[in-house]
RNA sequence: GGCGCGUUCGUCUAGUGGUCCAGGACGCCGCCCUCUCAAGGCGGAGAUCACGGGUUCGACCCCCGUACGCGCUACCA
């Protein structure tokens, strides 16, 4: 394919929705896969919905996910400006062309008349409420008078009745509409701003967009867009309407049923690699069994032809799994950077752990965490000595003989010099033999003493990481604090 | 209501007329490994392929209808 140019065109509502991320990602993958350009265009033609800082947020979220755009706000490009609010004169120019060839017309109808019209149509049980083309009957003179008189107006698309509007969609195949079901859509609002329908078509053409890849919610208005391309005698882009992302109850993914913003997932500790991987698989697969992907692999394999038609439920369980998978694939050094940051934002920020210590903690817990923050919540004992001990673990692993046995173990540890993991193991083995008890009688209480819990890495791994002094100190502490009846 | 789109295990999905009494993944359950918890390995439960008609020697795959779901139906995108 030649000259592939695609765009992600969000309205700046304040944050990047995960559905938006999926749309942006598919655009990005398609562009990179085909050596095309990925463009960001901001659809800010609704002045009532202006949100301060929304564009910056959007760009920040896209960048975090690794979706770098080739043209757009901040980076520029030769088809700018990339903010629709800065292109108003362009839309005016083109809509005049439409008016002069009869494909659009001025409409001076008041809000009230439109409401009355709608009510009447509903009363008559008409299949659909539509504008009645009332202002199309105005003479040229009447229009000029009203314009001169500064009467408020909108400009509407003049849809010719009784014909079929047909277009192809990569995802859905041939889609067909009856023009009688398409309303004379407003193209220019009374404030002079264009509606999405006009702006989107004009910009896609001017920016030489080859493929329009967007959410399914746009499918129903595509006939209007197609008609606009035809009216301008412009070549239509290739359309691909993506299935929606759904809540667990299969309604459109919404805030009410969980997190929808990329930044929500970011603050919850999800890795960008996992989020991107997960979202890519919601509505697309390569046709093989691979589920774990890095961005470069997605780029290599992505095709629009393999995008599904049906909506997909956003399943947190699988995201969690992918997060764990991506976390485990990271090197200890990468995790080290993430963990340092995590510590800085935690109750342990006042402590200073040395690098090699943290690296050893990372290695020991790697298979046991799904999130970086779980290093702190699942193994707090690496970050501070236990204060209280897990009750059920005490009941299960501590009895009246335990204190004496642990004391003996502690004494044995105490005579070790620069012990390695094996040295602790030998010491414990020796004590167990001398006491004539199974090793478990020592191992479990030891674990409890040093970690306050009954789960975690191998106890000798914990001990060797904590070091001899700390281990002995913790055993002493446990002996003082753990009381059983 | 109208128009459009969709419908394979709970969820994400494979499947493009015979190889499917439907394969993989997440989750769930069991076993193995084992000082615990994970990870890993092995195995299991789980889908009359929404339903009903066609077409065909043969249909998850093609056609029609029904049901259900979702989207759109704004001077919002």
1.20.120, 1.10.3470, 1.10.8, 3.40.50: which CATH number matches A330-382? Answer: 1.10.8
* Nucleotide minimizing C1' to CA distance for residue A42: B77
What does the block give as tokens for A6? Answer: 């695609």
DSSP of A288-318, one letter per residue? SS-----HHHHHHH--GGGB-SS-EE--HHH
DSSP of A63-106, one letter per residue? HHTT---SBBTTTB-TT---BGGG-HHHHHHHHHHHHHTTSEEE
* Nucleotide minimizing C1' to CA distance for residue A43: B77
pTM: 0.94
CATH superfamily to which A87-242 belongs: HUPs (3.40.50.620)
How many CA atoms lie less than 13 Å away from A346 in the CB half-sphere?
Answer: 18
Cα–Cα–Cα angle for A320, A325, A329, nearest 5°?
145
CA/C1' separation A165–B55 (Å): 30
* Nucleotide minimizing C1' to CA distance for residue A215: B71
Identify the pLDDT of residue A197: 97
Q: Which residues of chain A are under the pLDDT cut of 50? A: none
Closest protein residue to B27 (Cα–C1'): A317
Question: Alpha carbon of A75 to those of A27, A69, A360, A386: distances in Å?
Answer: 18, 8, 42, 52
Handedness of CA A231, A232, A234, A240 (dihedral sign): negative
Closest protein residue to B73 (Cα–C1'): A128
Identify the pLDDT of residue A166: 94
Distance CA A362, CA A336 (A): 7
* Nucleotide minimizing C1' to CA distance for residue A190: B75
User: Which bases in strand B are touched by protein, i.e. have an atom under 7 Å from a CB?
Assistant: 1-8, 10-15, 23-27, 35-39, 69-77
Catalytic residues of A: 255
CA/C1' separation A292–B14 (Å): 16
Q: What is the predicted ipTM?
A: 0.95
* Nucleotide minimizing C1' to CA distance for residue A127: B2
CA/C1' separation A262–B4 (Å): 30
CA/C1' separation A155–B1 (Å): 28
* Nucleotide minimizing C1' to CA distance for residue A183: B73
Fold of A391-481: Arc Repressor Mutant, subunit A (1.10.10)
What are the residue boundaries of the structural domains of chain A, listed by start? 5-84+245-316, 87-242, 330-382, 391-481
Whether the bond into A21 is cis, omega within 30 of 0: no
Identify the pLDDT of residue A275: 98
Identify the pLDDT of residue A49: 86
CA/C1' separation A212–B14 (Å): 27
CA/C1' separation A354–B20 (Å): 58
Distance CA A86, CA A279 (A): 32
What does the block give as tokens for A110? Answer: 């008041």
Distance CA A218, CA A197 (A): 10
pLDDT tens sequence across A285-320 = 999 999 999 999 999 999 999 999 999 999 999 999
| Domains A330-382 and A391-481 agree in fold | no
CA/C1' separation A243–B6 (Å): 9
CA/C1' separation A41–B76 (Å): 17
DSSP of A232-291, one letter per residue? HTPPPPEEEEEPPEE-TTSSBP-GGGS--BHHHHHHTT--HHHHHHHHHTSSB--SSS--
Architecture of domain A5-84+245-316: 3-Layer(aba) Sandwich (3.40)
CA/C1' separation A67–B46 (Å): 38
* Nucleotide minimizing C1' to CA distance for residue A217: B71
């Amino acid at each position: 394919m030649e000259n592939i140019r695609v765009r992600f065109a969000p309205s700046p509502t304040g944050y990047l929705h995960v559905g938006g991320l999926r749309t942006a990602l598919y655009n990005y993958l398609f562009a990179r896969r085909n050596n095309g350009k990925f463009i960001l265009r901001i659809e800010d033609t609704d002045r009532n919905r202006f949100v301060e800082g929304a564009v910056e947020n959007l760009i920040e979220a896209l960048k975090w996910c690794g979706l770098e755009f080739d043209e757009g706000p901040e980076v520029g490009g030769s088809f700018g400006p990339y903010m629709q609010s800065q292109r108003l004169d362009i839309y005016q120019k083109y809509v005049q062309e439409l008016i002069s060839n009869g494909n659009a017309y001025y409409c001076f109808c008041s809000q009230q008349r439109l409401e009355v019209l709608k009510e009447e149509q509903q009363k008559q049980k008409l299949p659909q409420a539509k504008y009645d083309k009332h202002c199309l009957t105005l003479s040229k003179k009447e229009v000029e008078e009203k314009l001169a008189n500064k009467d408020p107006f909108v400009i509407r698309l003049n849809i010719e009745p009784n014909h079929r509007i047909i277009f192809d969609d990569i995802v859905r195949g041939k889609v067909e509409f009856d023009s009688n079901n398409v309303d004379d859509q407003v193209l220019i609002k009374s404030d002079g701003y264009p509606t999405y329908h006009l702006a989107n078509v004009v910009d896609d053409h001017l920016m030489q967009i080859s493929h329009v890849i967007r959410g399914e919610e746009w499918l129903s208005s595509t006939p209007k867009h197609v008609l606009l391309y035809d009216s301008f005698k412009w070549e239509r882009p290739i359309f691909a309407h993506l299935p929606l992302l759904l809540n667990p109850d299969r309604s459109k993914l919404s805030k009410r049923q969980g997190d929808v913003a990329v930044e929500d997932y970011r603050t919850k500790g999800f890795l960008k690699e996992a989020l991107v991987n997960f979202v890519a698989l919601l509505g697309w697969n390569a046709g093989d069994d691979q589920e774990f992907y890095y961005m470069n692999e997605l780029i290599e394999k992505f095709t629009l032809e393999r995008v599904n038609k049906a909506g997909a439920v956003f399943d947190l369980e699988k995201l969690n799994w992918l997060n764990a998978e991506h976390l485990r694939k990271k090197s200890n050094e990468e995790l080290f950077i993430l963990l340092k940051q995590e510590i800085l934002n935690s109750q342990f920020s006042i402590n200073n752990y040395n690098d090699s210590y943290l690296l050893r903690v990372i290695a020991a817990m790697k298979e046991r965490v799904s999130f970086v923050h779980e290093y702190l919540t699942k193994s707090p004992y690496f970050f501070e000595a236990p204060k209280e001990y897990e009750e059920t673990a005490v009941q299960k692993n501590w009895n009246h003989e335990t204190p004496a046995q642990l004391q003996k173990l502690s004494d044995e540890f105490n005579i070790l010099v620069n012990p390695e993991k094996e040295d602790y193991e030998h010491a414990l083995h020796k004590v167990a033999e001398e006491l004539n008890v199974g090793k478990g009688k020592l191992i479990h209480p030891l674990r409890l003493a040093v970690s306050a819990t009954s789960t975690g890495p191998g106890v000798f791994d914990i001990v060797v990481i904590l070091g001899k002094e700390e281990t002995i100190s913790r055993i002493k502490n446990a002996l003082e604090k753990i009381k059983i009846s």
